Amino acid sequence: MNVVVATSNAGKIREIEEAMQGLGWTLSPLGSLPLPEETGTTYEENAALKACAAAVMLGRPALADDSGIEVEALGGEPGVYSARYGNRDSDVERNVYLLEKLRGQTNRRAKFVSVVILAYPDGHLETYRGELPGTLLEGPRGANGFGYDPLFVPDGETRTLAEMTVPEKRAVSHRGRALAALREAHRDGPPARETTPGV
Ligand code: IMP
């Protein structure tokens, strides 16, 4: 299957390429095609916006993801708005903003969420979700990764995601888990579509 990867994030493209190795897929970059704005209020909506636009315009199946971090003490904030949290411009500023919001909070529970959508040109969608639960520290640790990685220790770990190597993070991450579910579903070819009896 020839699949377009509907993202301009080089890190995500690499991660998707590695996760899909051995499936017999040919993955193509988006090229100069502009992606629609992420105007949805759920990860599913945003991932579908990107994947559907690419699938329809290029006439091939297209893969897109949307992700974020949900903080328990903040009622699930920032969620789908993680990339723009507090209108701060950089990862460091967003991390400082999050730490300020959590000052004095004893509940440091949070989870990363990733939704990966494979869209077909006829409008059919496959949706895969991966989650990574963990705890937020009171200050950053580690220099790898991006986003909220330096603040986040996954359950069962002592290191933050920013203290792990790229393959170590990929093995446990929310995106890695969503991609593993996609890969598993396609192990023997595209999964059968559900049909309504009589239709
Ligand atoms: P998007 O999926 O590219 O819209 O990214 C959403 C935002 O969520 C990113 O800009 C990060 O702030 C955050 N995020 C998503 N995945 C991760 C991750 O694996 N580590 C750290 N931050 C992440």
Tens of pLDDT, residues 42-71: 999 999 999 999 999 999 999 999 999 999
Tens of pLDDT, residues 150-174: 999 999 999 999 999 888 988 899 9
Active-site residues, by number, are 66
Region of residue 24 (left: phi > 0; alpha: psi -120 to 50; beta: else):
left
Q: Structurally, how many domains does the chain consist of?
A: 1
Give the residue whose CA is nearest to atom 22 of ligand 1: 147
Closest of 165, 70, 67 to residue 110, by C-alpha: 70
Cα 2 to ligand 1 centroid, rounded to whole Å: 26
Quote the domain boundaries for residue 151: 2-195
Please check if 10 is assigned to a binding site: yes
pLDDT of residue 81: 96
Question: CA-CA distance, 187 to 191, in Å (whole number)?
Answer: 9
Amino acid at 29: P
- Both tokens of 65, joined, read 């993801």
Residue 85's CATH number: 3.90.950.10
The single residue listed with the structure tokens 């959590």 is: 102
For 52, 82, 98, 111, 121, the CA distances from 103, given in Å and listed in that order, are 40, 18, 9, 18, 47
Residue 102: CB partners within 8 Å, gap ≥ 6? 71, 73, 74, 108, 136, 138
pLDDT of residue 188: 85
Profile the chain (199 residues) by mean pLDDT over runs of 10 residues.
89 83 90 89 97 96 97 98 95 97 96 98 97 98 94 98 90 94 91 71
pLDDT of residue 197: 66
